[in-house]
Amino acid sequence: MQKEFKGRPVIAGDIKGEAVVSRQGVNTLATFQKSALKKKKEVICSDQNNSDIYNKLLTGKILCLPKTIGSTTGGMVLHTVSALGIAPAAMLFSESIDSLAAAGVILADVWTDSTIVAVDRLGDEFLNYVQDGMQITVAADGTVTVE
C-alpha cells in the first residue's frame, strides 16, 4: 500500500530511494564523524546514542527524521559528506528544518556538485508511518510517496 505526504521542499529534487528512519533527532557530527574521519567510501552511522540508525548505512539512502541536533558544526559536516559523495540522497524532516541541517543542505547545494534533497514539515504521521527499507519517491514539489 502506498501513502502520500506533502511537505515543503527546502532543496527541491526528484528522487527515489530506500528509507532509513530515525525517530529521534539525528546528531550530525556523531553520526557522520567516524566514517568521514576514516575516509570511508560509505557512511555507517557511528552515533551510539541513536539506536534507530546506529551501524546502518546512510550513503545514498533517504534519511527520515524529526530534525538534526548537536554541535553547530553540523552544517559543515553535512556539506563535507556531500562534497565527499557519501551523503544521504535525501533528508525528509517531519518537523520544520532546523538551522544546522538547513545550512548543511544549502551549503551542499551551492558549494558542491552534489545535492542532498531536503523536504521538511512532513508531519508526525509521516514519521510514524515510514519504516526502514520502504521505497520512497520524492517529487520536486515536496510530495513524498512511501510504499
Partner 1 sequence: MNYKMKLTPEEEAILNGSQGPAMAKVIKTLVLYGDAFGAERFVPVTAKGHLVTSFGISILKPVFSIMDELIDGGLKAQQPFTVDPRPIDYDNVKCNPLEKLIFNKILYGMQAPYEVQLKKLGLKSSKSFTCTCYMDEVGNVPEKGDVLSWAESSAVVYANSVLGARCNRNSGIIELFGGILGKVPEFDLLTDEGRKAKWIIEVKTSKRPEAQVLGSAIGLKVMEDVPYIKGLDNFLGTELTDSVKSYLKDMGAATASNGAVGLYHVENLTPEAVESGAALINDDAKVYVIDDAELDRVKNNYPIIWKDKNAQPERCFIGCPHLSYSQLCEWTERFETELKKQSKTKVGLRTIMTSAPEVIEHFKKDNKEAYDKLMGFGVKLTSICPLMYMNNPLCGKKPVITNSNKLRTYTTSRYFTDDEITEIAVKGGF
Take residue 56 and report the three cell numbers written for it. Answer: 546502518
Nearer to partner 1, 10 or 146 (CB): 10
**Rounded to whole angstroms, how far apart are CA atoms 103 and 34?**
21
Angle between helices 28-37 and 74-83 (to 10 degrees): 40
Nearer to partner 1, 57 or 83 (CB): 83
Beta bridge partners of 26: 68
The alpha carbon dihedral of 89, 128, 25, 140 has a sign of positive
**Rounded to whole angstroms, how far apart are CA atoms 73 and 87?**
16
**Closest CB 6 distance from partner 1, rounded Å:** 17
Q: Are 90 and 15 in contact (CB under 8 A)?
A: yes
Q: Does residue number 33 form part of the binding site for partner 1 (CB under 8 A)?
A: yes
**Closest CB 10 distance from partner 1, rounded Å:** 5
Choose the stretch contacting partner 1; rule: CB under 8 A; options: 13-21, 55-63, 91-99, 127-135: 91-99
**Rounded to whole angstroms, how far apart are CA atoms 3 and 18?**
15
What character string, x for contact with partner 1 (CB under 8 A) and - otherwise, covers 39-78?
x--------x--------------------xxxxxxxx--
Among 22, 31, 50, 80, interactor with partner 1 by CB under 8 A: 80
Binding site for partner 1 (CB under 8 A): 10, 29, 33-34, 36-37, 39, 48, 69-76, 79-80, 82-84, 97-100, 102-104, 106-107, 109-112
